[in-house]
Chains A and B, each alone.
Chain A
Amino acid sequence: MSEKPKIGMYWCASCGGCEESVVDLAEGILDVVAAVDIVFWPVAMDFKRADIEAMPDGSIAATFINGAVRTSEQLEMVRLLRQKSAAVIAYGSCAQMGGIPGLANQKDREDILRYVYEESPTVENAAQIRPQRTHGVNGATATLPSFHGNVRTLDQVIPVEYYLPGCPPTPRLLAAAVQALLEGALPAAGSVLAPDTALCEECPRRDSKPEELHIDQFHRPHAVHIDAERCLLAQGVVCMGPATRGGCEAVCVQGNMPCTGCFGPTSRVKDQGAKMLSSLAANSAGEEDAAITGVLESIPDPLGTLYRYGLPASMLHRSLSDTNRSKEQST
């Protein structure tokens, strides 16, 4: 047992889907379990933080961490796991780029807390009570982790060796990564363990994409009848495929839904949303600025569409909230 490589799994700000995806390996999970020794996996197995602290540094061969980093607890845990692991693998879009939780970077900390605990229509909190960091109960002190001002990607807080992209990563990519890990065949540190070509390459609808798009109106996917054979962009639905790394085998497109960009950009791109926007702007119908602007204004929820998974990792990182903006103006 001691000869098998040790593997850890941990979650931060995430939905749990990445944990589920491990189960998506189906019977393949038995091979994995036979080949490795899982030493830490809070969602499935009972280990304590002290168990990890007791391990020698670097003794875990690889820890798969999913979720973005938003709280002091998450930060502490990933730092600890970093110290104990030979390799850290950012697992899934949230760990890699911030993911859906990263969209919270549109608001700042105060706006979020106020809305969640006071203003949300389903909340009754006349006393305006908010969670406290510490609270005395029966002579003991209970503590809560602190809530950071920003959602950060895993590699914004600790060094990361590899990235497995996806929301969640596909079983096939996970199996390939584990295989490579066991065989010592992982590529250079810093690599994303997926092809470095955009999704269109493997899209079954590629041949139906015209050379000239001239999109005159963008639609939300549910608002139009989508032809199951034709390129989605040609139908005015924002498909992030051209700006998104392939490797998922176009599962969403095969389900007649557009790519939403969860695999992130190719290694050559600094900002996925900006790249896609640049391409959409260039492929919109209209010659004059006003006409093009009209088309672009029909992009549903631009930030949520173009930066759905990558706001914290993008050059934008976050937007200034109203509170922050007024602070900036007053200084």
Chain B
Amino acid sequence: MKQNGDVRIGFYICHCGTNIAGVIDVDRVRDYAASLPGVAVARDYKYMCSDPGQDLLRQDIAEHGLNRIVVASCSPLLHEKTFRGAAEDGGLNPYFVQMVNIREHGSWVHEDGEYMTGKAMDMSRAAILRVQVHEALERKRVPINPAVLVVGGGIAGIHAALTMADAGKHVYLVEREATIGGHMAQFDKTFPTLDCAACILTPKMTAVKAHPNITLWTYSEIDKTEGFIGNYTVTVKRKPRYVREDLCVGCMECIEACVYKSAKIPDAFNMGLSKRKPVYIPFPQAVPPVPVLDPENCLHLKNGTCKDFCVEACGDRDAIDFTQEAEYIDIDVGTIVLATGFDTFDPARIPYYGYGKYPNVYTSLELERLVNASGPTGGDVRLPDGRIPERVAIVHCVGSRDEHYQRWCSRVCCMYSLKLAHLVKEKTGGEVYNFYIDMRAPGKSMEEFYNRVSTEGVHLVRGRVADIAPESLEPPSNGRIGRVVVQAEDTLIGRIRKIPVDMVILSVGMQPQEDAENIRRMFNISCSTGGFFLERHPKLAPVSTFTDGVFLAGTCQGPKDIPDTVAQAGAAASEALALIDRGYYELEPNTAYVLEEQCSGCKSCIQQCPYTAISFDAEKSKASINEALCKGCGTCVASCPSASIRQHLFEDEEIFREIHGLLAYA
């Protein structure tokens, strides 16, 4: 076995106050380690991670000529960096340090001190055997391209883009729809302050458009992503909108002139509650203020038979371009912020709520448009038959907290339901019934908002709605839309209640975007069980992903309200900025490497890599690992059938020595 010359190991066992020493006999472990071959110094100390603790390492390296360090203390996750750093300060290669986790794997999980002292000896012996064959490793650096890509132009993407652009970085903001603004642009008021969503959002939207550091591409999608932290190449597909952004001045005369005299196509922005023309702008404050031509309905694009009034109206500006085709643009960026947002739960999946069957059953997002002054009814809450409803039911938790649909709480529904209750009551003066399971009002000013709405005369019924059915089997003779009866068990009084109402609002929960899985694969990140993108650590790295340089903002990571979304977008932006301003990224050297001469080119490893770090070099007929992408997971090392892939810091000999040390009886 190779020993890398004369090995002189320093062994240090930490008391961690009484965390370790309260269970483990540290003196015995220290004396035992001192007796093992190769150990030149063995010490115990109250807190190894403290400055004096680290100084011990540095002094001993100098005085005793140590060339290997073993620290028996806590999890390497906490202090491996600390002790590697201390060894490096002392002039030693940091990878000559091995930690033994006798706290999380020891004193915290065992009560039997005698047993645990023995286990600590075994674990220490394993590390002492292992560290002898450690090799000096070097950290490599990759430069970070300062340009950033933000995917998604909702409030999260907008805020992240503005933050980074304000810091002087060039930001590419790519949005799938014809305008930025996302779901927030569809909302009327926002809870708990009841300020108007558009009033606070549109200034930020125009700021994006005007910002010299932001390249805004709406009506565009990500086609392909390649590369790794600091060096991504992303292909953006710019879908044809048939109106040239560089020439259009936003006069909207083409819309006026369109051969369609009246609007006939359901308007997606208004949830289909109003109609638009084939050439349209999603909403008046859209950014950019450039209309889009819908090729499925535009007569010119569909069958070339139009009189092209729009072209005439555009005149010298000449912005209408029927020949436009999808354009693919490659951009180089160093970091990526994903802010792809959410979708709402489709309540038609719950048949007994009657959505899509009864015309007076709405989703909450449809109501947002109905109560909005620029919405299809000019802000009046009206039924399809034109009446103002006298009695309205709001059903909470539709699709949420339900093991048949979505197990999670969508966090925002209780509060937006109260907001809608307030707005509906204000606008109709009718009776409003909110059916809730639990009223969840955490967060700043939320409980106060709940108290406020509950004193406004809204009826709060604690019970999950079991059924929504017509009041009468006969349709009303006067052409009106009949009432429906909402049935629920009021769990506070222990009675079934059946309440006839004119209108039902289903408070739908949040779910991942339909194509979240595509995005996930394209950026090589993971997702949680519900399909929302997975953060690196739920508490300590909430906006990072397992792919370095890719960050998460907003509801693509999980349901959240606007304040949390904006806070998270700011966090994602600052994580990206921190990387950019440092200018480089240091790669941990515990990566896998191919023994090129021995590799048989069998390709078994290529699809194993969860980080797409392995490619097949067709010229050499060998596997090739990109160090910058490799995370050192070891999957390829284990699966290489001829053992021609190895891994730094996890060489076979190191692992076998560790096992040998663990299993050898003292």
- Which residues of A pack against B, CB within 8 Å? 196-201, 206, 209-213, 241-243, 245-246, 265-266, 268-270, 275-276, 278-279, 282-283
Contact = CB atoms under 8 A, between A and B. Distances in A.
Contact of A268 (B606, B635, B639, B643): B643
B641 A243 contact: yes
Contacts of B641: 198, 242-243, 269, 275-276, 278-279
B639 to A, nearest CB: 5
B430 interface: no
A200 B607 contact: no
Contact of B604 (A201, A242, A266, A268): A242
Contacts of B652: 268, 270
Interface stretch (B184-192, B333-341, B417-425, B595-603): B595-603
B621 interface: yes
A213 to B, nearest CB: 7
B603 A211 contact: yes
Contacts of B597: 197
Contacts of B606: 211-212
A276 B601 CA distance: 15
A283 B641 CA distance: 12
A243 B601 contact: no
B638 interface: yes
Contacts of B640: 275, 279
A246 B600 contact: yes
B644 A200 contact: no
Nearest to A281: B639
Contact of B644 (A198, A213, A282): A198
Interface in B606-662: 606-608, 616, 621, 635, 638-644, 652
Contacts of A278: 638-639, 641
A265 B635 contact: no
B607 A242 contact: no
B600 A200 contact: yes
21 contacts: A196-B598, A197-B642, A197-B644, A198-B641, A198-B642, A200-B601, A206-B621, A209-B603, A211-B606, A211-B607, A211-B616, A213-B604, A213-B607, A243-B641, A243-B642, A266-B598, A269-B641, A269-B642, A275-B643, A278-B639, A283-B608
Interface residues of B, number: 23
Given A197-B642, A266-B644, A268-B652, A206 B607 contact: no
B598 A197 contact: yes
A268 B601 contact: no
B643 A282 contact: no
Interface string B80-118: 000000000000000000000000000000000000000
A265 B640 CA distance: 12
A259 to B, nearest CB: 11
A211 B606 CA distance: 6
B35 to A, nearest CB: 30
A279 B607 CA distance: 11
Interface of B: 595, 597-604, 606-608, 616, 621, 635, 638-644, 652
Contacts of B595: 268
Nearest to A283: B604
- Residue with the greatest number of chain A CB neighbours at <10 A, chosen from B603, B608, B638, B641: B641
Given A243-B641, A266-B643, A268-B643, A209 B607 contact: no
Nearest to B622: A201
- Residue with the greatest number of chain A CB neighbours at <10 A, chosen from B595, B600, B621: B600
Nearest to B636: A282
B603 A279 contact: no
A206 to B, nearest CB: 6
Contacts of B644: 197-198, 266, 268
A201 B638 contact: no
A167 to B, nearest CB: 19
B367 to A, nearest CB: 39
Contacts of B642: 197-198, 242-243, 245, 265-266, 268-269, 275
B607 A201 contact: no
A292 B525 CA distance: 23
A279 B616 CA distance: 17
A201 B622 CA distance: 9
Contact of A197 (B600, B607, B635): B600
A39 B640 CA distance: 44
Given A197-B642, A242-B641, A268-B644, A282 B598 contact: no
Contacts of A196: 598
A268 B642 CA distance: 7
Given A198-B642, A242-B600, A282-B639, 7 more contacts: A201-B600, A213-B604, A241-B602, A265-B642, A268-B652, A278-B639, A279-B639
B608 A282 contact: yes
A248 to B, nearest CB: 13
A243 B604 CA distance: 10
Contacts of A198: 600, 602, 641-642, 644
A212 B616 CA distance: 11
Nearest to B656: A270
A33 B634 CA distance: 51
Nearest to A201: B600
A198 B597 CA distance: 11
Contact of A209 (B598, B602, B608): B602
Nearest to A268: B643
A282 B606 CA distance: 11
B608 A199 contact: no
Contact of B607 (A212, A265, A268): A212
Contact of A279 (B598, B599, B601, B604): B604
Contacts of A282: 604, 608, 635, 639
A210 B638 CA distance: 20
Nearest to B638: A278
Contacts of A268: 595, 598, 642-644, 652
B340 to A, nearest CB: 23
Contact of A200 (B602, B608, B635, B643): B602
Contacts of A209: 602-603
A200 B598 CA distance: 11
- Residue with the greatest number of chain A CB neighbours at <10 A, chosen from B597, B599, B601: B601
Nearest to A241: B602
3 residue pairs, one from A and one from B, having the closest CB atoms: A198-B600, A268-B643, A243-B641
A270 to B, nearest CB: 8
B611 to A, nearest CB: 15
- Residue with the greatest number of chain B CB neighbours at <10 A, chosen from A196, A211, A246: A211
A96 B429 CA distance: 92
Contacts of A283: 604, 607-608
A282 B642 CA distance: 15
Contacts of A211: 603, 606-607, 616
Contact of A269 (B600, B621, B635, B643): B643
A114 to B, nearest CB: 35
A291 to B, nearest CB: 16
Contacts of B601: 200-201, 206
Contacts of B599: 197
A268 B640 CA distance: 11
- Residue with the greatest number of chain A CB neighbours at <10 A, chosen from B603, B616, B635: B603
Given A206-B621, A242-B642, A279-B641, A199 B600 contact: yes
Contacts of A266: 598, 642-644
A243 B606 CA distance: 16
A266 B598 CA distance: 9
